[in-house]
Amino acid sequence: MNDPALTVLTTSPEPLSKGEEPRKWWHALWHHVCHFINPPPDAQVLREVVEELIDEPLSESGISPAERMLLANIMALRERKVHDCMIQRADIIGTDIESTMAEIVALMATHAHSRIPIYRGTLDDVVGMVHMKDIMPCLAYDQTRAIADLLRPVSFVAPSMQASKLLLQMRQTRQHMALVVDEFGGIDGMVTIEDLVEEIVGEIEDEHDAPASPTIITRTDGTLLVDARLSIDDFESQTHMRLPELLEGEDIDTLGGYVAQMAGRVPTIGESFRTPEGMSFEVLEMDQSRIKRLRIRTGRPTGSFTTLEKRSQAAS
């Protein structure tokens, strides 16, 4: 005889009315999930389901272009490494621990940063970071505080770490900045939580961000004025040209690094370097030991590709 106390009561969901039919994309998702209930779907199967929804036409999936973009970026984030998202070492704005309060405030005001990494002697010895929120009370109440008293901890991560894992770590530890350390223990770059979020939602610009200038400018004589920080992949995709490989095994990301490898040293302003195919690179601007701007002569006719400047003019 069954024990009433052990009887499990189950209720079946009420049928949906005609006006409560689910959206097509939700119905498709539910269909795929149910298909893998036995055995339960693993992470790979769920990713495949989402990828199928992204690839389906808008009329069938019901997913808007903005939703499709967010889903695609989330799926791609698991393939991104910290190295792909970080700010390069040369672009890190930091200061020595012996700096005065006024010097740090001036640095933050000049570069519109609310967080500044603090190092001892060189950038390879970062001891923490200072936040504008900790400095403001000192200024408001005319308090004299040493920078060492205002330091907050900062994380150190490897460039090969998954960007999605770092984003989760930052949320759990409530730290919005991490320094990227290379295999020799030196600082290779920096990542903020904003950099990681932008991998999902796209570029986030606030009122302090200046409008981006064209990365490639085509002159009437056919030469190109190029920001040396432009990645080689972006240059090749925008110009439809392929740079010849110099040395196998060398990992070079930017045009500035490419020219420095051609020179075999840190070049100087005015120097030019030519590839065997006839493409020449002239150094126009330097920032200490970093190349900032280049003039490239390709030997190709003007207007053979679309530059960022032309795209922006066409859009306007």
The answer to whether 211 touches 309, Cβ cutoff 8 Å, is no
Dig out the tokens for 39 from the structure.
């055995």
pLDDT at res. 71 = 80
CA distances from 238 to 23, 91, 199, 223, 224 (A): 40, 24, 21, 15, 12
Residues 4-15 have pLDDT tens digits of 443 334 344 445
Closest-CA residue to 296 (of 305, 312, 284): 284
3-state helix, strand, coil in the chain (%, to 5): 40, 20, 40
Mean pLDDT value across residues 19-38: 51
Among the listed ranges 65-74, 150-159, 223-232, which one has the minimum average pLDDT value?
Answer: 65-74
Beta carbons of 185 and 162 less than 8 angstroms apart: no
The CA R_g of the chain, rounded to the nearest whole Å, is 27
| pLDDT given for residue 181 in this prediction | 95
DSSP 69: H
Average pLDDT over residues 107-115: 89
- The residue count of the chain comes to 316
> What domains can be seen in the chain, in order of their start residue?
20-77 (no CATH), 83-201 (3.10.580.10), 216-315 (3.30.465.10)
pTM beyond 0.85: the answer is no
The number of beta carbons lying within 10 Å of the beta carbon of residue 277 is: 11
At 206, the pLDDT band (50, 70, 90 cuts) reads low
Percent over 70 (pLDDT), the chain = 68
Give the pLDDT band (50/70/90) at residue 212. low
